[in-house]
Amino acid sequence: MRRRWLAGLVGLAIVTVGTLVARVVVFPRPLSIEVAGTIVNLRARIAVAGLVMGAGFGLAAVGAQARAREIRIDATLAGPAWGALPGLLLPVPVAGQAIACLVGAGLVAWLTRRSAGLSATLTRGVAVAGAVVGLAALGLFVGPGLTPTTATAFLHASLGGALTQATWLRTAIGGALVLGALGLAWARWRQLALARAGLDEEASAAALVTVLASAGAVLVAGVVAGLGLIATAIARPIVGEDPRLAAPGGLAAGAGVGLALDGIGQALAWPGELPVGVLTLIVASLLLAREVVPADPR
């Protein structure tokens, strides 16, 4: 157990050093102590975001699988994966960003139209979040006395922006909300009438609360939430479903994915939100399309 934790931390250190080297190669200029400190601090925030999402989702997946064998792990986590939806914040006029959020929300709703249970509940909550943010951004864009800059600032503030803009406070708040939404859904999985066609009054109330919780989590966590499903999907084939290995496996994978995506963004010499957001969205959407579970005819 200790060796696996140590291996994860060593891997994290290797990736961090690699990003420092890549930064010097891509942007050749003297690497002062101040520049190195800034890079390490930025990578540390990204790594912490990956640790929280990867380890937390890994534990939640194992717990849900242990209590409800009919639920596939990736399907349980499909909803939070759409925290990647706000990664569509591209450096283009805010109208395009808002439309992208609306299109993404519609895509989520369409993909889950025949799904049931916890997966459908969470993904629809994320679709609600994307639609609300898209409409709000459009309103700011066309509102009197407001500028695209104002609307863009709103989007970054409400969605968590890109990984390169993740602050310690935003990482903590976003991670707590995402994991809180998962915990709420996990605790109420019986009331959600998983794999059943009908929902009674109590189950409907629980489903509504879960939708709102997941929507709120996405609004704050932004693209960081997408690391959870990706990290778990990477870690599970390596560590299996042993709950003792879920945390260190998810920890290493989550941090590695976050730093790798940021490194790609640096190598492309673009603002971090473009490559990080788009790549995270692509990977998460592929996993979602593969893992969403159709309604059980029974």
Q: What would the pLDDT profile of 237-281 be if each residue is shown by its tens digit?
A: 666 655 556 555 655 665 566 556 555 555 554 444 433 444 444
237 contacts 250 by C-beta, under 8 angstroms = no
Position 298 in a domain: no
Please tell me the total count of domains within the chain: 1
Q: 229 and 77 in contact (C-beta within 8 Å)?
A: yes
CB proximity list for 89: less than 8 A, separation 6 or greater: 97, 155, 156, 159, 161, 162, 273, 277
How many CB atoms lie under 10 A from the CB of residue 162?
26
CA–CA distances in Å: residue 158 to residues 129, 133, 152, 278: 10, 8, 10, 18
Rg over CA atoms, the chain = 19
- For the stretch 174-194, pLDDT in tens is 555 555 555 555 555 545 544
Which residues fall within 8 angstroms of residue 204, CB to CB, at 6 or more apart? none
pLDDT of residue 105: 58
In a 10 Å sphere around its CB, with 0-12 CB exposed, 13-18 middle and 19+ buried, how is residue 264 labelled? middle
Tell me the residue range of the domain where 158 lies: 2-291
- Is 296 among the domain residues? no
> Is residue 103 a part of any domain in this protein?
yes
Comparing C-alpha atoms, which of 73, 7, 19, 79 is closest to residue 44? 19
What pLDDT sits at residue 168?
57
DSSP assignment of 91-137 equals: SS-HHHHHHHHHHHHHHHHHHTTTB-HHHHHHHHHHHHHHHHHHHHH
CATH number (domain holding residue 72): 1.10.3470
Residue 96: both structure tokens together: 């395009």
Between the two ends of the chain, the Cα-to-Cα distance in Å is 41
- Residue 110, pLDDT > 60, answer yes
CA angle centred on 265, ends 259 and 268, rounded to 5°: 140
Is the overall model pTM greater than 0.85, yes or no?
Answer: no
Residue 58 has pLDDT above 50, yes or no: no
Residue 37: pLDDT over 60:
yes
pLDDT per residue as tens digits for the range 193-245: 444 444 455 545 444 444 444 444 444 444 444 555 455 556 666 666 555 56
pLDDT of residue 199: 45
- Residues 90-109: pLDDT tens digits? 333 345 555 555 665 566 56
Is 61 a member of any domain? yes
- Residue type for position 146: L
- Mean residue pLDDT across the chain: 51
Residue 190 CB neighbours (<10 A): 12
Residue 270 lies inside a defined structural domain of this protein: yes
Mean pLDDT of 153-178: 51
**Does residue 297 belong to any structural domain of this protein?**
no
- Judge whether 47 lies within some domain: yes
In a domain, 115, yes or no: yes
